[in-house]
A and B are shown apart, each in its own frame.
Chain A
Amino acid sequence: MRPFSYQRATDPDMAVQALSAAAAANNPLTQAAAQPLAGGTTLIDLMKLDVMRPAAIVDINPLAHGWSVIEPNGDNLRLGALAKMSDVAAHDGIQRNYPVIANSLKLAASAQLRNMATLGGNVMQRTRCSYFRDVSYENCNKRHPGSGCAAMDGVNRMHAVLGISDQCIATYPGDFAQALIALDATVEITGKAGTRSMPFAQLHKAPGSTPDIETTLQPGELISAFAVSGRWPRSVYLKARDRQSYEFALSSAAVALDVQDGTIKDARVALGGVATVPWRAREAEALLKGQKFDEALAQRAADAAFADARGRRHNSFKIALGKRVVARALQQAVTMEI
């Protein structure tokens, strides 16, 4: 690991000031000279791998007293960015009214990592692409723009089939983000000009021609909270993986339904493990709305979700697997008792 200076930010202004001072507008935030430290489960790991090389660490954990709320109050949910994944997953109100959130968190990582990792850090988790994580591979457009992509014709079994470009097929690795995007969450961002909110769906950027730019956060900005409107008790997170526990998704689905008198009034479907960013399957949702549920409908929705998917040599199986995951998640959501 390379040397770094370390400071604790005891209030948000101090954190924003220290981070923005080190950021240059024309460089991706992931390569800014100063990086915020929350749970550290991604940052310290990538620093040990020499993938991230900050000259300064700004420890934002002292902000937790104001930024770690878990408030499922009435019909609105507010989650602080420094709330721990394990605490949110174990919260009664989250389990009852937002099972898709609770389960996306519970099925992520290990108990130890969930105790450390924060919600804000989790959505900023970086890809597990092995060519990105190993600096001995020279061709990675995320690490070195313009250098090429070793995954394209490499071992790409774990890579994405949706949201890809000819520059990058690295999979977005998280689980929680799929729950957020499905529920139309908003993200609250604290920066130099105070706080702003935007749809969570606008946070991540598909790789396109600039895979090194992963989010729309501006220099010095920090995620401070997430918010969800409405309750979603009929919601599931289904995750298919190579092991039963403690593994990244090959394919996952976050599904939330509003079913009244047997008719689907509202449907939300988001996909994980198969896309370069948290992925909303709006075509599937459109097919489901206003319909009575049956297996054929679930299959049509699953097909629609993957209509634009493109596999490469080793990952085409994710298209067939992903459809089954969507269909099964829909089935589970329809039949769950609430």
Chain B
Amino acid sequence: MSDKSSSKASAFDRRAFMVGAAGSALVPITARAAAGDTSASVAQDPALPVEVTLHVNGKDKRLSIDPRTTVLDALREHLKLTGSKKGCDHGQCGACTVLIDDRRVVSCLTLALAAEGQEITTIEGLATDDRLHPMQQAFIDNDAFQCGYCTPGQIMSAVACVKEGHANSEADIREYMSGNICRCAAYPNIVAAVKQAAPEIMKG
């Protein structure tokens, strides 16, 4: 493969790379996949949809998606879980924050393919039965939002912030919640909500 593609005049020749890649380097992976290694799913032809299974809020979801699909778009456009919001779509605003394997991440910069095999928790997965999660309740109790667009991301981030042990002071909360922007500037009430919910969450 290296001979074949490096002999081309330009590294920008996408077609040459595809042909070369399909010819050899990917063979070991497909062989593994055939042998039952489910962790080795690949998208060889970018023009074709790829099958992926996402674990979302405790359930397996089988999707057929463009390899470019982010976790955020998979949630919103394919699974109709529209709680996670698209703000900047560049990892700057935090509106799309979800938990992946219990760690808060921005779902707009996470490829759905790369999240295969991991547990994704969204705002829709927080409440149990008819009872709100303590952080959801605290946001209501403290009027911690105005327009509400950033709120699902704020709440997911806040849950993780508490569990990380970064909600021990107001200064800590402000520092560790800085990745969630609120353009209505509900920050004082958001800090109050996180403070209220923290002991209950830590109690379990």
A residues with CB within 8 A of B: 1, 3-8, 10, 14, 17-18, 20-25, 27, 31-34, 37, 40-41, 44-45, 48-49, 53, 55-57, 59, 61-62, 86, 90, 109-113, 115-116, 244-246
Q: Nearest Cβ in chain A — how far from B95, in angstroms?
A: 11
Q: What residues of A have a CB within 8 angstroms of the CB of B6 in the complex? A: 21, 23-25
Knowing that A5-B18, A23-B6 are A-B contacts, what are 20 other residue pairs whose CB atoms are under 8 Å apart, sorted by A's residue number?
Answer: A3-B67, A4-B67, A7-B29, A10-B37, A10-B40, A21-B20, A22-B5, A24-B11, A40-B110, A40-B111, A41-B91, A41-B109, A55-B17, A57-B111, A110-B180, A111-B166, A112-B105, A113-B179, A244-B174, A244-B178
Q: Which residue of B lies closest to A13 (CB)?
A: B28
A227, B11: Cα distance in complex, Å: 33
- Give residues of chain B (1-55) contacting chain A, Cβ–Cβ below 8 Å: 1-2, 5-6, 8, 10-14, 17-18, 20-21, 25-26, 28-29, 32, 37, 39-47, 50
Interfacial residues, chain B to chain A (CB-CB below 8 A) = 1-2, 5-6, 8, 10-14, 17-18, 20-21, 25-26, 28-29, 32, 37, 39-47, 50, 66-68, 70, 89-91, 94, 97, 103-106, 109-111, 113-114, 157, 160-161, 164, 166, 174-180
Please indicate the chain A residues that have their CB under 8 angstroms from the CB of B174 in the complex.
Answer: 244-245
Complex Cα–Cα for A18 and B61 (A): 30
Q: Are B176 and A5 in contact (CB under 8 A)?
A: no
State in angstroms the CA–CA spacing of A53 and B180 once bound together: 29
Check B45 against A5 for contact (C-beta < 8 Å). yes
Whether A56 lies near B114 (C-beta < 8 A) is no
Known pairs A56-B17, A115-B103, A245-B174; A48 contacts B89 (CB<8 A): yes
Contacts of B1 in A (CB 8 A): 17, 21
Once the chains bind, are B10 and A45 in contact (CB under 8 Å)?
no
Take A33-B11, A40-B114, A59-B114 as given contacts and tell me if A4 and B178 are in contact as well, using a CB distance cutoff of 8 Å: no
Shortest Cβ distance from B107 into chain A, in angstroms? Answer: 9
CA distance A27 to B8 in the complex (A): 12
By a CB distance below 8 angstroms, the chain B residues around A6 are 42-43, 50, 67, 111, 113
A-B pairs, 3 with minimum CB distance: A110-B179, A3-B46, A24-B11
Tell whether, in the assembled complex, residue B106 and residue A32 are in contact, meaning their CB atoms are under 8 Å apart.
no
A289 to B43, CA, bound (A): 56
Q: Which of B13, B45, B97, B114 contacts A37 (CB 8 A)?
A: B114
Distance from B122 Cβ to chain A, minimum over Cβ atoms (Å):
14
28 sample A-B contacts, Cβ–Cβ < 8 Å, listed by A number: A3-B46, A4-B67, A5-B46, A5-B67, A7-B21, A7-B26, A8-B42, A14-B29, A21-B6, A22-B11, A24-B8, A27-B10, A31-B12, A33-B11, A37-B111, A40-B114, A44-B70, A53-B12, A55-B14, A56-B21, A90-B164, A109-B179, A110-B179, A111-B104, A111-B166, A111-B177, A112-B105, A112-B106
Which of chain B's residues have a CB closer than 8 A to the CB of A40?
109-111, 114
* Nearest B-chain residue to A4, judged by Cβ: B46
Rounded to whole Å, the gap between the CB of B105 and the closest CB of chain A is: 5
B93's nearest neighbour on chain A, judged by CB, is: A110
Q: Is the CB of A32 within 8 A of B11?
A: yes
Cross-chain contact B91 with A18 (CB below 8 angstroms): no
Closest to B29 in A: A7
* Chain A hits for B14, CB < 8 A: 33, 55
Taking the closest CB of chain B, its distance from the CB of A241, in whole angstroms, is 11
Q: How far is the CB of A88 from chain B (nearest CB, A)?
A: 14
Is the Cβ of B2 less than 8 Å from the Cβ of A115? no
The residue from B5, B29, B161, B180 contacting A21, defined by CB atoms under 8 A apart: B5
Q: How far is the CB of B1 from chain A (nearest CB, A)?
A: 5
- Measured in the bound complex, the distance between the Cα atoms of B62 and A167 in whole Å is 49
Select which of A1, A10, A48, A112 is within 8 A of B32 by beta carbon.
A10
In the complex where A3-B67, A111-B179 touch, is A33 in contact with B13 (Cβ < 8 A)? yes
Whether B90 contacts A45 by the Cβ 8 Å rule is yes
A28 closest partner in B (C-beta): B11
Evaluate whether A61 and B114 lie within 8 angstroms (CB atoms) in the complex, with A41-B91, A115-B103 already known. yes
Q: How far is the CA of A24 from the CA of B25 in the complex (A)?
A: 16
Q: How far is the CB of A109 from chain B (nearest CB, A)?
A: 8
How far is it, in angstroms, between the C-alpha of A20 and the C-alpha of B21 when the chains are bound? 11
- Which residues of chain A are within 8 angstroms of B45 by Cβ–Cβ distance? 5
Chain A residue nearest to B10 in the complex (CB):
A24
Whether A62 contacts B39 by the Cβ 8 Å rule is yes
